[in-house]
Amino acid sequence: MAWYEIINHKISLVFYSYGKLISRNKRKFLLCPLLLASILSLGVICLTFENDAVYLFTPPTSRARADLLYMEEHFPVNYDAFIPTRSLTTQEMAGNLFITSADGGNVLRSEIIDDILRLDNTLQIIDVATDDDAGSFNFSSVCAKLSGVCLPDISIRFLSILNDPDTNITLSYPFTVLPNGEIFFLGYTLGGVQVSDDGSVESAQAIAISYYLKSGTPEIDSKSLLWEEDFTRLVDSWNSSSGLMSISHLTSQSLSDELLAMTERVMPLMIVTFSILITFAVVSCIMTDWVQAKPWLGVCGKFCNIVLYQTTPTSRTNIN
């Protein structure tokens, strides 16, 4: 084992010389690392938050990103002549509602339809304040349009006709023909449909409504995001006050919002985990001989981990 003794001797000499150097320059070795860590930690001031799930969780060269770019290039979306089936990616800005009755019954009852139409009217006219307080805007300013007007959701059109006392209509599924000859496809509008033997709709458990928004420029994206935020707040408030229906909602930011909420839910567990780590580090440095025991060494080790995290450039990306 001569080779082991040689290596052990060389390492011992290195650490012996290093220890002498530190003992002769105590203040420098104490203050310089703290000063350097403090300077590097100033980068926290420029901390930016990233909430794009694609950016955070997919590699830049991944197949998913390449396919997304291909779809956007070959199937571009024109928001002034918007066709919902043209939206082939999951990144489109929109407010989506999924409505069921509070008692789990038929969602096509007249009182529930009235409540849905009132909610739709409120969403259409709600004023959203801009970030710079330069004014406000409503849905018509950011909606995807067709023939110069906001694309009317087929569910709202269908419910308005169904709720008209002057219109006598028998629903069929998945296609319904109106008295004026117009055909509605209800396949992606109604859910949990019960159909009679003659093909007419007896009841439906859920209804879906979509509010499509523009995107493409920073200004339009900012406004659409603000509208989505107010949309979420209004729907949550309506859902808590309405005794007739239960509403679920989905926007382009729902995934990011849930990831952020998950982070907040995990934080108490992180505190417990960090406390366990400190306790383990302290116990590991305790000996039966209190002269040689160094419990504070374990605490300093965890402090070094915190400083390391603060000075690491990769800590600049998070979810907001």
SS3 string, the chain, reads CHHHHHHHHHHHHHHHHHHHHHHHCHHHHHHHHHHHHHHHHHHHHHCCCCCCHHHHHCCCCCHHHHHHHHHHHHCCCCCCECCHHHCCCCCCCEEEEEEEECCCCCCCCHHHHHHHHHHHHHHHHCCEECCCCCCEECHHHHECEECCEECCCHHHHHHHHHCCCCCCCCCECCEEECCCCCEEECCCCEECCEECCCCEEEECCEEEEEEEECCCCHHHHHHHHHHHHHHHHHHHHHHHHCCCEEEEEEECCHHHHHHHHHHHHHHHHHHHHHHHHHHHHHHHCCCCCCCCCCHHHHHHHHHHHHHHHHCCHHHHCCCC
The answer to whether 55 and 62 have CB atoms below 8 angstroms apart is no
User: What per-residue confidence (pLDDT) applies to 320?
Assistant: 41
Splitting the chain (320 residues) into consecutive groups of 10 residues, what average pLDDT does each group show? Answer: 79 89 86 82 71 77 84 80 68 86 89 91 88 79 84 80 78 81 82 85 90 86 90 91 88 82 80 84 78 78 74 49
CA distance 163 to 109: 9
The answer to whether 153 and 211 have CB atoms below 8 angstroms apart is yes
User: What per-residue confidence (pLDDT) applies to 274?
Assistant: 81
Nearest CA to 206 among 95, 94, 97?
97
Helix axes 2-24, 26-41, angle to 10 degrees: 80
The answer to whether 259 and 53 have CB atoms below 8 angstroms apart is yes
CA distance 55 to 50: 8
User: What per-residue confidence (pLDDT) applies to 272?
Assistant: 87
Residue bearing tokens 């690392």:
33
